[in-house]
Amino acid sequence: MKKYHCFNRLFIAAGLLGLTTLVQAQNDDAIRLSRNTEPGNTPPIWVSMSGFTGEAAAVLQFDLYVQGFGFTNANGAQYLISGSNNGNLEGRVMDHFNKNALVSKAYSGSTLRRQAHAFADDFVQALGRKGIGQTKIAFVVEGGYGKSEVYVADFDGHGPQPVTRDNSLAAAPCWVPGRFAVYYNSYKLGNPAIFSHDLSTGARRTVAWYGGSSISPAVSPNGRKVAMILSKDGWTDLYVADADGSNIKRLTKSPEDESSPCWSPDSEWICYATKIKERRALCKISASGGSAQRIPTSGVPNPTEPDWSPDGQWIAFTAQRGGFEICVVKAEGGEVTELVAGEDPSWAPNSRTLVFSRRSGGGHLSVLDVPTKQVKDVARVSSGVNSQPSWAR
């Protein structure tokens, strides 16, 4: 469940196998998770890169690697990326096989890092996919003495900025879709309360604060509703309310502790974690109320921390066994693909990349390309544990 308590490898194409991979990679749809790409078992698209140095080269390599690209020489690449970063950045992308230019553009203004992110996005978008280079994440940085604060940063962890400075315990940040605003829960008032926070103005308001716990906010994709876990009526149940906390409605009535709500992209359904016969399980329920429906996770016990992909096709979750593991399952349930050790998965807007937390190495965040299982660690904020990420959409 969401923790609200004190909480380069290069792939080289070789021989006939590499040529086969390159031919397959010419079909851009073959690498899209939303187009029946097989999670965890899809080869990367090979690219070569020349002319970039230092920070620009590092940003491009990071952005593309976690979106399913691998790096090789020009002879073995599907796409040839070239350019320069002497002052401002200039970038070009040529399709090696079709001999046509996909991108040819000069970038100015802002920082070199942001120019490189923008170029990576332009390349990915030229292939018909959503770029993520200029997106943001929110997450928790745990300090000493049981205290933590919410931060926001670029998706690769650079440019971190604190959201809260409460010298208390803050947790479970989630973005308001389409806005530079987050919700989170905080112990600033004593019992955990849910706050909304406009990051443009700094305005913060209390959304829910009842006796007991008010935790795990999740804002609907249309921005009109917020799902949350409250214990105000005795049991720890799932509730839904208008975005400002008004017109609250109880959706579940169970002695089991519900947790970790997330929304379907049409804002009609809420997926959450519960218990059935003493075992963790995933369920969904209409946001207007009704009976809960189980989402099977075949062969993988104790699923928790679900997140519904923006394209509606997949649910990522944490499996609790001897350790914690990131998994994905079709939104209707079924066979599960186990991906990598970690917890707290959150989908990027492209519905193929996840940010998640790892407990190894003192606690940090990583990003994962689901089809290829390529992983990169994001820049870490301070020496404290970085956890509970949420990707802005």
Band the pLDDT of 367: cuts 50, 70, 90: very high
pLDDT higher than threshold 60 for residue 10: no
Residue 186 has pLDDT above 50, yes or no: yes
Burial 167-179 (b: 16+ CB within 10 A, else e): ebbbbbbbbbbee
pTM: 0.89
- Determine the length of the chain: 393
User: What domains can you pick out in the chain, each with its CATH number?
Assistant: 136-391 (2.120.10.30)
Encode burial over 320-337: b for 16+ CB neighbours within 10 A, e otherwise. Answer: beeebbbbbbebebeebb
Instruction: Say what the pLDDT of residue 301 is.
Output: 85
For residue range 60-82, what is the model confidence (pLDDT) as tens digits? 999 999 999 999 999 999 999 99
Spatial contact of 25 and 97, defined as CB atoms under 8 Å apart: no
The residue written with tokens 């070789």 in the block is: 14
Which residue has tokens 């890092």? 113
Which is more confident, 253 or 256? 253
Specify the residue for token string 């965040």. Answer: 365
pLDDT band at 370 (very low <50, low <70, confident <90, very high): very high
Rounded Cα gap, residues 251 and 238, in angstroms: 6
Average of pLDDT values for 24-38? 44
- Two tokens, residue 93: 């992308």
Q: What is the mean pLDDT of the chain?
A: 90
- Between CA 283 and CA 293, with CA 289 as vertex, the angle to 5 degrees is 25
Query: Is the pLDDT at 13 greater than 60, yes or no?
Result: no
What is the rounded average pLDDT of the residues 178-201? 96
Q: Would you place residue 382 in the very low, low, confident or very high pLDDT band (cuts 50, 70, 90)? A: confident
Confidence of residue 24 (pLDDT cuts 50, 70, 90): very low
